[in-house]
Structure 1
Amino acid sequence: MKKQRLALGGLPTREGVSPSCVSLPGGDWPSFTDFLVQRFPDISREVWRQRMAAAEVVDEFGEAITPQRAYRGHMRLYYYRALPRETRIPFDEELLFQDDHLVVVDKPHFLPVTPSGHYLQETLLVRLKTRLGLDGLSPIHRIDRETAGIVLFSVQPSERAAYQDLFRQRTVDKYYEAIAPWRVDIEFPRVSRSRIVEGQPFFRQAEEAGAPNSETRIELLETRGPLARYGLRPVTGKKHQLRVHMYALGLPIVNDRVYPPLDPTPEDDYRYPLQLLAQAISFDDPFTGQRRQFSSKRRLDFP
């Protein structure tokens, strides 16, 4: 009888963190350990042995991976990530709304939504799982780590896809504000459309010729000296879309460390948050039928 796959390999959430997953390609590695050491060069063989001894590495059927177990491709492994002690990001999220379907949070600048890279415990998702005791909590959408404002989470894993479909169908109204330079030669309101693709390095996006895959409506709200406050309404949801479109207009958002490109990219400086705020979001809830409307309590300040 074919074995039944277990959700997340049967590993439970630990300290608010769900196990990580790696898909195994076809290959001739002698053991799973040999593959993992090659796939994750920053993690030593001894560390993997320790994790395996603690039953912290399993296959998709929930069976423990041992150091000598022969490699088999085209399946998944689950394991717990471990990072050195993380420095706390010194800003707090604010819980705006919670019911049986949704959790809505006002995210501060600098805090990632989900674990990645150097961030694990210091992420919005893990903080909320720990704070609310909701292991099944999952983000419906994401905003950049540097961006502040509204983020939605699904309480029931079975409902997440229906909420995400609203974004794919473009039936969610999203409104952002940004502080950026003001130029008298650019007329507003206006619509920016372009083709956005992955640039170099991987975390930076770029525009290229071709059919547009992104659209942002931009309005001028107020001016103050050489700067202005803009209202941004993204129709699509490409990575870094608002930052790319503002930069392409010659209006880079204040304190953006990525656009315009700088080499090397500056480290975080908590004194200078990106002046971009996910200010409001609204949509018709597919489960309650209610019109949901949420607004951030944060406000961008002119430097």
Structure 2
Amino acid sequence: MTRISAHELGATEGPFGRGMKVVRPDEVPEGSVVSILRVPPEAKGMRLDRFVQSQLRRTSRTRAQKIIALGAYAPDARRLRGNDRVQPEQLILLWRPPWDEKAPDVTLRILHEDAHLLAVDKPAGIPVHPTARYHQSTVVKLLENARDGERLMLSHRLDRETSGVLLLARTSEADRQVKWQFARGATRPGAQERSVHKEYLAITWGADEEDAFRVEAPLELDPTSRYGVKMRVARPGEGLPSATRCAVLGRRRNPATGRLYALVRCTLETGRQHQIRVHLASRGTPVVGDKLYGPDDELFARGADGLLTDEDRETLELDRHALHAAVLELDHPADEGRRLRVEAPLPPDLADFWASLEDVAASVSAPTDQYIGI
């Protein structure tokens, strides 16, 4: 990434680089936000739209072209075009209005609360903490607004599209103790579980032939992907050790298409980025609705840009990936010897999707209904 931060730029109207002044173009509204990209030598001669797409890694080329058409300028306020060829050390200014973000009308369901911890049932589609795009519509901000500004500390994270149990600490000591448990990954004396026990429910395209299986496959960032967040299974001896225990709770079929699906309980032995999604995809059973590890990762860029087509939505079947954090269990940070277990039922969007399918065979692992109504 060749983005220049605001502190490097200094004042928007001040001098920058070789005596140049960065000027807000007359047609760009006051209050607009500017992102500044510097072209590295290896990008010499690349089309501007290709370069912008390469830097905004979650963006499709169509979206990159739109960004350029709406607000790409040189520092002297000269308009830039998508077919311009970039030069080394060139500065590209991308102007945009501030995000018009409104806090969602949602009440977070409290799953557990005491003087030290707070656990909520995070809805899909809401990020856990503020980002460049999301500020008001985050779990942390929603809770702060609802609880008179109480300072809460995230003990762990869930992807924006993942629903389920999210734990926050109410004191610095509880935060330190819980994060230590997450970090150490050790087992309790006489037990086989990790110190922090996490179970997820996933609905997959396709169903594994085994009722219970373990995926042990190291993970690494995918260097071939233009998305800076995509993971892949690494070669033996490389990557980060990763393991997931899986149990198929039920198999169902779409009566209209004949397509097979499974409801899978995934128990984490390690906690790598996108671990469950990558491990299931490596078995040939990716998570339903997964834009990154499903049928085509270009869906990820189009989804981030709000450019999904009706055909895309039909392919994905769900607006988000069908992954839900169902169980979180750990040692209570302020009550030695007490084991805290927090559970969240399968949310309506996933439960309704599963209910729309027809049973194939009874599961030998556990009754499906138990997990839909935890």
TM-score, with length taken from structure 2: 0.57
Check 1:87–1:203 CA distance in 2 against 1; reply closer, same or farther (3 A cut).
farther
Tell me by how many angstroms 1:292 deviates.
0.7
Deviation at 1:224, TM superposition (A): 1.2
Q: Does structure 1 residue 272 correspond to structure 2 residue 319?
A: yes
Q: Which of 340, 347, 365 is the equivalent residue of 1:292? A: 340
1:156-175 aligned within 5 A = 156-170=171-185, 171-175=195-199
Cross-structure match for 1:112 = 127
Identity %: 24
Separation in 2 of the partners of 1:118 and 1:198?
A: 23
Q: Which position in structure 1 is the counterpart of 2:265?
A: 231
1:293 corresponds to which letter in structure 2? Answer: R
Shift of residue 90, structure 1, vs aligned partner: 5.9
Q: Does residue 136 of structure 2 align to residue 121 of structure 1? A: yes
Size of the alignment, in residue pairs? 240
How far residue 214 of structure 1 moved from its aligned partner, in angstroms, is 1.1
Gaps of 5+ in 1: 1-21, 49-81
Q: Contact 1:134 / 1:155 at 8 angstroms: preserved in 2?
A: no
Please tell me the residue identity of whatever aligns with 2:323. Answer: L
Question: Structure 2 vs 1, CA of residues 287 and 93 (structure 1 numbering), >3 Å: closer, same or farther?
Answer: same
Contact 1:197 / 1:207 at 8 angstroms: preserved in 2?
A: yes
- 1:219 is paired with a residue of what secondary structure? strand
Please report how far the alpha carbon of residue 296 of structure 1 lies from its aligned counterpart in structure 2 after TM superposition. 0.4
Question: Partner amino acid for 1:224?
Answer: R
CA contact (8 A) 1:137 1:157 kept: no
Aligned counterpart in structure 2 of residue 180 of structure 1, from 200, 204, 207: 204
Contact 1:177 1:277 in 2 (8 A): yes
Deviation at 1:32, TM superposition (A): 4.4
Question: Is 1:253 equivalent to 2:287 in the alignment?
Answer: yes
CA distance in 1, matches of 2:24, 2:108: 35
Give yes or no for contact 1:280–1:295 (8 Å, CA) kept in 2.
yes
> C-alpha distance in 2, partners of 1:33/1:97?
46
- Letter of the structure 2 residue corresponding to residue 191 of structure 1: R
Structure-2 residue corresponding to 1:17: none
1:97 aligned to 2:112?
A: yes
Q: Secondary structure at the match of 2:125?
A: coil
CA contact 2:128–2:160 (8 Å) conserved in 1: yes
* 1:72 corresponding residue in structure 2: none
**What does the per-residue CA deviation read over 1:206-234, in whole Å, with 9 as the maximum and x for residues that have no partner?**
22213352110011111112111100001
Kindly indicate whether the alpha-carbon contact (under 8 Å) linking 2:164 and 2:326 is maintained by their aligned counterparts in 1: yes
Answering whether residue 168 of structure 2 is matched by residue 153 of structure 1, we say yes
Question: 1:262 maps to which residue?
Answer: 297
Distance of 2:146 and 2:112 partners within structure 1: 14
Q: How far apart, in 1, do the equivalents of 2:265 and 2:203 lie?
A: 9
RMSD: 3.2
Shift of 1:277: 0.7
Residue 193 of structure 1 and its aligned partner are, at CA, apart by 1.5
Q: Distance in 2 between matches of 1:209 and 1:122?
A: 39
Higher-Rg structure is 2
